[in-house]
Structure formats: structure tokens, C-alpha cells
Amino acid sequence: MRMDKTNNNRTRRNDLLLLTGCLLAALVLGGLWLLLRQGGRFVVVEQNGRETARYPLSENRTERIETEGGYNLLVIEGGEAFLRAADCPNLLCVKTGKIRYAGQSIVCLPHKLAVRIVGGASGLDAVTGG
């Protein structure tokens, strides 16, 4: 080996510190999110970063969303939202599954589409027409 032993030990310790640091940061951020998350009130549909539709999470419905790239079938059911079908290549948006908490989202990158949950306690932004 080219490296002497002390140097080797030091790099190994630094590696370990970096690794655990990153894992810890992920854990802390994840824990914070689990603690602070709130149930949402609205389902917002965004295409190219612009809001194109907004539905209450409390009403069951099925909407076909047409995008430049293709379609996505949005279903709101029992206070949860999910995409039932789409014609994007990887179908990650469909596999994402159901979302119900504010801040959660389903992203379909090929269609530049995002479906996200908004509105914690008040939902004032919807009342004022935001």
C-alpha cells in the first residue's frame, strides 16, 4: 500500500464521519417531516410550474389531465389523491401511490406535471383565490 497506516486510518475515519453525517441529516430531516406533516385540504395540479386546477381533497372525483406529453388520470378518493393511469414511459407517477399530507406530491417529469397536496390548518390561500 502506498498510504502509511496513520493516513489510512484518518481517511477511513473521515469517510465514516461523512457517511454517518449524511445518514443522520436524512434521518433528522425525515423525522422532522413525519412530526410536522399535516393533512392537506386541496389537490393542486401544476403543468410547467403553473397551477392549472385545484380540487378539494374531501370530494371524490376522477379527472383526465391532458399535458403536452400525454395524459394522466387523477383520482381523488377517501381523502387521498393518486394517479391511476398515464402514458408516460416509466409510469413512476402511477407507482408513487397515494398522497394525503400537505407538501406531498406526485411528479411526472416526462409530462412536466406535478400533483401536490396543499393547505394545512386554514387553507386561506384557496379562499383568497391564490
Partner 1 sequence: MKTKKLTTLGLSVALALILSYVESLLPPLLAVPGVKVGLPNIVILFLLYRYGWKEAGAVSLVRLLLSAALFSGFAAFFYGLSGAAVSLLGSALLKQTDRFSPLGVSVAGGVLHNLGQIALAALILDSGYIFAYLPLLLLSGTLAGALVGLLAGILIRRTDVK
Note the residues at the interface with partner 1 (CB under 8 A). 2, 10-12, 14-15, 18-19, 22-23, 25-27, 29-30, 33, 46, 49-50, 89-90, 92-93, 95-97, 103-105, 107, 109-110, 112, 114, 116, 118
Q: Minimal CA–CA distance to 73: which of 64, 96, 81?
A: 64
Smallest distance from partner 1 to CB 2, Å: 8
Q: Is the separation of the CB atoms in 90 and 110 below 8 Å?
A: yes
The stretches of the chain forming alpha helices (DSSP H) are 5-36, 92-95, 124-127
Smallest distance from partner 1 to CB 60, Å: 23
Compare residues 3 and 62 and give the one whose CB is closer to partner 1: 3
Smallest distance from partner 1 to CB 56, Å: 18
Compare residues 65 and 114 and give the one whose CB is closer to partner 1: 114
Q: How far apart are CA 113 and CA 49, in angstroms?
A: 8
Smallest distance from partner 1 to CB 63, Å: 19
Compare residues 18 and 53 and give the one whose CB is closer to partner 1: 18
Cβ atoms within 10 A of the Cβ of 125, count? 14
Instruction: Name residue 73's beta-bridge partners.
Output: 64, 85
3-class SS of residue 88: coil
